[in-house]
Structure 1
Amino acid sequence: MSEFAPEWLDLREPADLRARSSDVANTVSARFALRDDVSVLDLGSGTGSNLRATAPLLPHRQSWKLVDHDASLHEVAKTRLAAWADAAEFSDNGLRLRKDRREIDVTFVVADLASETAHLLDQPLHLVTASAFFDLTSPDYIRALAKAVAEHRIAFYATLTYNGQRRWTPRRPADNQMASAFHRHQLRDKGLGLAAGPMAPAHLADQFRLNDYSVIEGDSDWRLERSDRMLIEELVRGHAVAVSEIGGVDAKTIVNWINVSRTGVVVGHTDTFAAPAS
């Protein structure tokens, strides 16, 4: 299953929602508490899960622009968002949603973020956000994004950025060898330059601080147990596929590792909120 497939995004969404840092979320909510409206740009928007999780933190009138390179994901997002809302009206390129007394206008943009991110920021915005995205981007992309966001004095909120921590239950001797190979795979180009992988949270914090932003970070680890069996199994499979592709671990070790019955895993993520310091 591709990490961008709607089925994978649906499978991970409940775990993402549970994992989000409440401290960082509360800071986001406080930042916008005195506003009546907010305009949001969501990068790598997938099926709209970031909107569903973040909208409750924001003012009653919201305008969201969801950006992804895959037009088919936008079609899935429209269906998922309409089902999530209390009421939904469809237009040619968007939705008007009502959810818990919030009015949310949503437009959808197909864009190549490698070349079009700066252009997308050249519009009235209050918040740039993304979820489970920046570990797939390069340090250069993060540097350019932070600079562009700061030039426009926009707030920034990234959730579920992978930070390299992964602890399986039960543990096995090959876990470290598999993790090392997996992280080498993560550093490959995912379409936005050689990826930052597990160093992405550090790059985000550093770059926004260099642009005179105040930064708050919080853990947003997945803590998966027996009730998350399907997600654990998919993680194991995806982990093994990545390791097989990158090489460096023999096939017998990979097969033996896959055949361990996993009852839990902690996957480390970091949430980041950055706002102009003055």
Structure 2
Amino acid sequence: MSFAADWLTLREPADRAARDRGLVDKFARRVAANAAPLIIDIGCGTGSTLRSLSGDVGSVTEWLLLDNDPLLLEEAARLCGAGEPVTFRQHDLNDLGELPLDNAAMVTASALFDLCSEAFARAFAETLADRSVGLYAALNYDGRIEWTLPHPADDAILAAFNRHQQTDKGFGVALGPAATGRLATLFGGHGFQVETAISPWQLSRRDKALQKAFIEGFRQPLLEIGEPVDIEDWIAFRLAAIDRPDSHCTVGHVDLLALPA
């Protein structure tokens, strides 16, 4: 599983705006309470989590960014710039036994766990519980997409898209919209203090490039699912509506903070 750097760049401003500030503040306080804080960001992509949170956790914090895609790691190193206390490492997240958790204060992940399976989430919770390491998992898709301008196929397309979100994305059959709820249950079962907060994208015509990529990104999943709707008609309608001042799109996400007691 990997994503194009262009898509990750497009979504970064929307992700940054969507993060729940209350959970970010609690995460930052937890990191600051560690004498030598190390944050491990898994599935780091181009490093957007670091760029979003570095101002909250302070310059003394060290970061270890992990991803399975060497090209994304190379782009992350370029975008994060010189002088950051950050290390980049290629790592297959399916190999949880080799996750380098020594001295870690927290693990972070953005838009990752909705792509992961029940088995992966369960094993991941056990791994962090064994080491008493907390998790801040932001921007997990929750199954909600709402448009101010309706189209007759909206419900059918959303249902088909959500079914596709629960197919294998590289970690087994994905949890999709159920991810945050399962993480909360799993970490809670290990005695973690768990909080969640909604973090939806709020997209308008100011986000034209992101909306265009997001809308066109429905085509392949719906073709794979085989939903009998005119996807091209729906895409054309949605693209034409982007520039209208009354056109708005909300894409639901949920953030989670799980702290060992």
Displacement, 1:231?
0.8
Task: Name the counterpart of 1:79.
Answer: 78
Q: 1:197 aligns with which of 167, 176, 188?
A: 176
- Alignment deviations for residues 237-276 of structure 1 (CA, whole Å, 9 cap, x no partner): 00122111211223xx212111113332100001100101
Aligned length: 254
Matches within 5 A, 1:86-125: 88=82, 96-97=83-84, 105-114=85-94, 116-125=95-104
Once residues 105 and 197 of structure 2 are traced to their aligned partners in structure 1, the CA distance between those partners, rounded to angstroms, is 21
Q: 1:270 aligns with which of 250, 254, 261?
A: 254
Q: 1:146 aligns with which of 125, 143, 167?
A: 125
Task: Name the counterpart of 1:14.
Answer: 13
Task: Name the counterpart of 1:67.
Answer: 66
**Identity score, percent:** 38
Contact 1:36 1:59 in 2 (8 A): no
Contact 1:29 1:58 in 2 (8 A): yes
Secondary structure of the residue that 1:66 maps to in structure 2?
A: strand
Q: 1:220 aligns with which of 199, 209, 221?
A: 199
**What residue ranges of structure 1 are gaps of 5+ in the alignment?**
83-87, 89-95, 98-104
Displacement, 1:60?
3.2
Query: Partner letter of residue 270 of structure 1?
Result: V
- Alignment deviations for residues 174-215 of structure 1 (CA, whole Å, 9 cap, x no partner): 111001111111111111111000100101111100010001
**What residue ranges of structure 2 are gaps of 5+ in the alignment?**
242-246
Displacement, 1:55?
1.6
Displacement, 1:121?
4.1
Q: Over the residues paired in the alignment, what is the CA RMSD in angstroms?
A: 1.5
Task: Name the counterpart of 1:45.
Answer: 44
Regions of 4+ moved over 6 Å: none
TM-score normalised to the size of structure 1?
0.87
Task: Name the counterpart of 1:127.
Answer: 106
Once residues 101 and 199 of structure 2 are traced to their aligned partners in structure 1, the CA distance between those partners, rounded to angstroms, is 30
Contact 1:38 1:59 in 2 (8 A): no
